[in-house]
């Protein structure tokens, strides 16, 4: 398969501004490209995004393929998948990597299916096999109890999504030079089965838990939706974000963007506080890479304590109000 060459990352942007995960992908992929001695390319889909393309070069890309069209202003899986599929078929990269975000988890399976190739999702590590040059794709399996390393020897491209915050972002070097390649497709490429009706912005407290240094997670042990206010207050005092277990989201106490786990978002903050979270396998797979984990649960046998660095056995609805009041006092003493 020598006619498939090079490594690509699929960058993510919002209204023309690159997301942090794009630089994380470049940091990871640059090392792989250097091992293979091959160029590193970036794919940037959107509208009015050419300025952002230069930032990808400053952070490690050698070429950036830009598809700029009004239909790409908002993420539409139909249009994005059509553009990425067409670009891959024309340029034939050997490896394509994206982030395991809502966008990446939606886009990459569609493209892999259309190309009839494999996709390893939610990787925590990527490497190159020295003997074959194949991409080694490592990800948690069996609920995070084992780590599986997967290869795609017979199909191209090799495709993977990687967890956000699982690799440091590539440093910015404005002296780097590269090529920005504007790609134009026929208008039928941008047709979609979906009709965009409007955009509704969520409250700030419900977004970007995957980027937060502190996540305070609400579990079913809180008992009722009114008690979620203590989780929100603690997160605010710590400058963090509010997370939720799947049962909390399913009961409507918090919206889906807060959900942590296999069916939600993967987080790896510096501090993770699990409040009334039992620790189902699916939830643990989404947060076990957190640097320091504090668990509060009245059941001493709760699974969450197996991954916690500090466990507090007690009623979360008694402990949280006391903790919040104490933090308020401390911040007040420092004039904050």
Lowest mean pLDDT among 62-66, 136-140, 177-181: 136-140
Identify the pLDDT of residue 112: 96
Span 140-153, average pLDDT: 80
Identify the pLDDT of residue 143: 60
In whole angstroms, what is the distance from residue 104 CA to residue 120 CA? 12
pLDDT for 310 beyond 90: yes
- Ranges 105-119, 134-148, 318-332, most confident: 105-119
Identify the pLDDT of residue 2: 66
List the Cα angle 99/108/163 in 5-degree steps.
20
In whole angstroms, what is the distance from residue 121 CA to residue 155 CA? 16
Give every CB contact of residue 291 below 8 A, 6+ residues apart in sequence.
268, 269, 270, 271
Cis peptide upstream of residue 157 (ω within 30 degrees of 0): yes
CA distances from 24 to 19, 97, 126, 187 (A): 9, 11, 13, 32
Q: Which domains does the chain have, with CATH numbers?
A: 7-190 (3.40.50.620), 204-333 (3.40.50.1220)
pTM: 0.76
pLDDT for 266 beyond 90: no
Identify the pLDDT of residue 40: 96
In whole angstroms, what is the distance from residue 16 CA to residue 73 CA? 9
Identify the pLDDT of residue 116: 95
Longest distance between any two alpha carbons in the chain, whole Å: 66
């Amino acid at each position: 398969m020598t006619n498939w060459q090079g490594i690509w990352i699929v960058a993510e942007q919002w209204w023309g501004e690159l997301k942090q995960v794009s630089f994380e992908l470049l940091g990871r992929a640059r090392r792989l490209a250097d091992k293979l001695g091959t160029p590193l390319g970036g794919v940037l889909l959107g509208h009015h995004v050419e300025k952002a393309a230069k930032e990808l070069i400053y952070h490690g890309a050698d070429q950036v393929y830009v598809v700029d069209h009004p239909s790409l202003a908002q993420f539409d899986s139909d249009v994005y998948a059509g553009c990425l599929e067409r670009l891959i078929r024309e340029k034939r990269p050997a490896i394509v990597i994206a982030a395991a975000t809502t966008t990446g988890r939606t886009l990459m399976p569609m493209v892999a299916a259309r190309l009839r190739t494999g996709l390893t999702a939610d990787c925590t590590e990527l490497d190159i096999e020295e003997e074959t040059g194949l991409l080694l794709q490592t990800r948690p399996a069996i609920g995070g109890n084992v780590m599986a390393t997967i290869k795609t020897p017979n199909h191209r491209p090799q495709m993977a999504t990687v967890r956000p915050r699982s690799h440091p972002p590539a440093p910015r070097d404005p002296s780097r030079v590269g090529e920005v390649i504007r790609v134009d497709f026929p208008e039928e490429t941008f047709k979609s089965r979906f009709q965009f009706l409007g955009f509704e912005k969520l409250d700030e407290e419900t977004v970007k838990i995957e980027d937060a240094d502190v996540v305070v997670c609400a579990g079913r042990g809180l008992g009722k939706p009114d008690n979620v206010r203590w989780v929100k207050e603690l997160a605010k005092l710590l400058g963090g974000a509010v997370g939720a277990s799947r049962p909390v989201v399913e009961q409507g106490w918090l919206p889906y963007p807060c959900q942590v786990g296999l069916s939600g978002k993967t987080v790896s903050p510096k501090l993770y506080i699990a409040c009334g979270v039992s620790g189902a396998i699916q939830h643990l797979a989404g947060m076990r890479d957190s640097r320091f984990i504090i668990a509060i649960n009245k059941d001493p046998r709760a699974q969450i304590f197996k991954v916690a660095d500090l466990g507090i056995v007690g009623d979360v609805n008694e402990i949280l109000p006391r903790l919040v009041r104490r933090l308020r006092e401390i911040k007040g003493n420092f004039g904050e």
